[in-house]
């Protein structure tokens, strides 16, 4: 059965966890869809894991269009979500719509935009014109130079309240989903409970409606230890099995466990 926005909203209402995983090509799209991944995210993380850059900032709209088209060809029933890369949404709502429309034409069924309250008018403009938007709050990798590194967001009471306020404002503006990155588990759960739309977490605890990881991270292909990660290749006989284990762990609530949370 094809995964749609209606499917995701029903999953939230029914308490069924949503499994998202990054994907960059048709072969892995087919593997992930067969393993039960609900949402394939063409992440601008491809700048790191595919292109070898130190950050996501060099990724272009043309890069994202190319990889989105490739993933869409193999996605099967999974929903295709594409990141809007740096510089493609930090412009006027009209220009952002033009850029998002190119991703939709390539096969995306939703676009992801980093930013809180500052992106409200852009989200409203896109949503009112038929482009579903996933809002990305908490740590925003495209703003890494502002943060001075990849740091946990929402630790203080004021920061936590700002996250909650941003999420509610983005929902009111028409966002179809909210992704929270590197946020304390208690804060992410509070935001999730305040929203009627689904939430996805990465390093945001188990209280969100779903989880996402970078494919290469969950397969143990990237050096370095990150607290919120689990290597799903450990104990798995092949990549297909590792992805199935990830999906089952998300669906059952086994992942993330306490040791993966902040």
Task: Say if residue 45 carries a ligand binding annotation.
Answer: yes
112 known ligand binder: yes
Element (H, E) at 160: helix 157-173
Q: Is 97 exposed, middle or buried (0-12, 13-18, 19+ CB in 10 A)?
A: buried
Positions marked catalytic: 181
How far is 262 from 257, CA to CA, in rounded Å? Answer: 11
Helix (H, G, I), strand (E, B) or coil at 253: coil
Q: What is the dihedral of CA 255, 159, 119, 189, to 10 degrees?
A: 30
To the nearest 5 percent, what fractions of the chain are helix, strand and coil?
Answer: 45, 15, 40
Residue 52, phi-psi category: left (phi > 0), alpha (psi -120 to 50), beta (remainder): left
Q: Tokens 């990798």 correspond to what residue?
A: 141
Helix 26-34 / helix 61-74 crossing angle, nearest 10 deg = 50
Strand, helix or coil for residue 65: helix
Per the annotation, binding residues for 3-methyl-2-oxobutanoate are: 44-45, 83, 112
Per the annotation, binding residues for Mg(2+) are: 44, 83, 114
Per the annotation, binding residues are: 44-45, 83, 112, 114
């Amino acid at each position: 059965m094809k995964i749609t926005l209606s499917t995701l909203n029903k999953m939230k209402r029914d308490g069924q966890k949503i499994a998202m995983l990054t994907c960059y090509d048709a072969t892995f799209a087919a593997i992930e869809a067969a393993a039960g991944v609900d949402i394939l995210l063409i992440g601008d993380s491809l700048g790191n894991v595919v292109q070898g850059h130190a950050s996501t900032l060099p990724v272009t709209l043309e890069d994202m269009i190319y990889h989105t088209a490739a993933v869409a060809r193999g996605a099967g029933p999974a929903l295709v979500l594409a990141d809007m890369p740096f510089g493609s949404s930090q412009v006027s709502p009209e220009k952002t719509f033009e850029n998002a429309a190119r991703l939709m034409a390539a096969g995306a069924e939703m676009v992801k935009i980093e930013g809180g309250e500052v992106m409200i008018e852009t989200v409203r403009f896109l949503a009112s014109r038929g482009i579903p938007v996933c809002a990305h709050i908490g740590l925003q990798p495209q703003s890494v130079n502002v943060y001075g590194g990849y740091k946990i967001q929402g630790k203080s009471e004021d920061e936590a309240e700002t996250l909650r306020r941003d999420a509610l404002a983005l929902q009111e503006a028409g966002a179809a989903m909210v992704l929270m990155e590197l946020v304390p588990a208690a804060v992410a759960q509070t935001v999730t409970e305040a929203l009627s739309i689904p939430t996805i977490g990465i390093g945001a605890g188990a209280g969100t409606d779903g989880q996402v990881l970078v494919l290469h991270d969950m397969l143990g292909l990237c050096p370095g230890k990150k607290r919120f990660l689990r290597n799903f290749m450990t104990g798995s006989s092949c990549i297909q099995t590792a992805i199935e284990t990830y999906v089952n762990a998300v669906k059952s609530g086994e992942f993330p466990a306490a040791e993966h949370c902040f």
